[in-house]
Amino acid sequence: MRFVGVDLPLGPVLATLAMLTCAVVLGHVREVSQRRTAEEKALTLLKQWLSPAELAQYEKYSYFEVTGGDSGKRYRIRPSRQMNVDELDERGTRTAAWCFGPEGELPIGDVMLAQKIALENNERGALALANRGSFLQSPPRFG
Amino acid sequence: MAQQIVMDVTGDTRHEFDPTDAAALAEARARFKQLTDAGFTAAVRKGSGISQLVRHFDLAADETVFFPRLRGG
């Protein structure tokens, strides 16, 4: 086999390529597995810090609602990385979405817990950092 | 045993310590200061679903969670 003008034996080249491919695939599998473990760990922590009502809501709908410590407004925290905090009116209709979270690549459960703690204890401070989106229509409400 | 739970890419890293052990307590206090100085927010669990932000090491806290500085998304 000629490669860039150099004669290379085909067998060792193919073996090296196979080993490299295998290493890349194994690395990816390990990364996915570590990420999944981190997500599970973060969800366990989140569930431990939710109230029974919040936990029941989360188990049923994959989101939970908290009350802002300063305004008394209700917020729905959904499992997503962006614009996942909905501000609700008294009828539970979404009036705005807020985007904020802890720095770094944390698992979703950690992000949601940090958002809950921040809204309940330092709502003004959290929203002062956040980006706000407005909505004319609310997504369907489940329960 | 008390616990300091630091959120990170692995989910979290947990540091358990015996609050009656002076050396362990000093280490936990130092860790609290190091993390909050680095911008982490500390919160203790006060009851079911109830948390409270703390700016100083809380001797009585069974569980303190630390999360990195918040930013707008």
**ipTM of model:** 0.96
Number of domains observed in the structure of chain A: 1
How far is the alpha carbon of A50 from chain B, nearest alpha carbon, in Å? 4
Best to test chain A binding among B9, B35, B40, B63 (most A CBs inside 10 Å): B9
Number of domains observed in the structure of chain B: 1
- Domain assignment present for residue B36? The answer is yes
How far is the alpha carbon of A3 from chain B, nearest alpha carbon, in Å? 42
- Domain assignment present for residue B72? The answer is no
Interface contact B9-A121, CB threshold 8 A: no
Minimal Cα distance from A39: which residue of B?
Answer: B11
Contacts of B11 (CB under 8 A, 6+ apart): A37, A38, A39, A40, A41, A42, A44, A45, A107, A109, A110
Rounded to a whole number of angstroms, the distance between the first and last alpha carbons of chain A is: 67
pTM: 0.84
- Domain assignment present for residue A91? The answer is yes
CB A73, CB B44: distance < 8 Å: no
Range of the structural domain that residue A92 is part of: 1-137
CB-based contact, A33 to chain B, within 8 Å: no
Q: Which two tokens stand for residue B54?
A: 């703390």
Q: What average pLDDT score do residues A97-113 get? A: 97
DSSP code at position B69? P
Cα separation, A100 vs A116, in Å, equals 11
- Domain assignment present for residue A16? The answer is yes
Query: A61-93 pLDDT, tens per residue?
Result: 999 999 999 999 999 999 998 899 999 999 999
Q: How confident is the model at residue B7 (pLDDT cuts 50, 70, 90)?
A: very high
Instruction: Tell me which H or E stretch contains A117.
Output: helix A108-129
Residues of A in contact with B69 (CB under 8 A): 102-103
Range of the structural domain that residue B37 is part of: 2-67
Is the Cα torsion angle A11, A12, A15, A21 positive or negative in sign?
Answer: negative
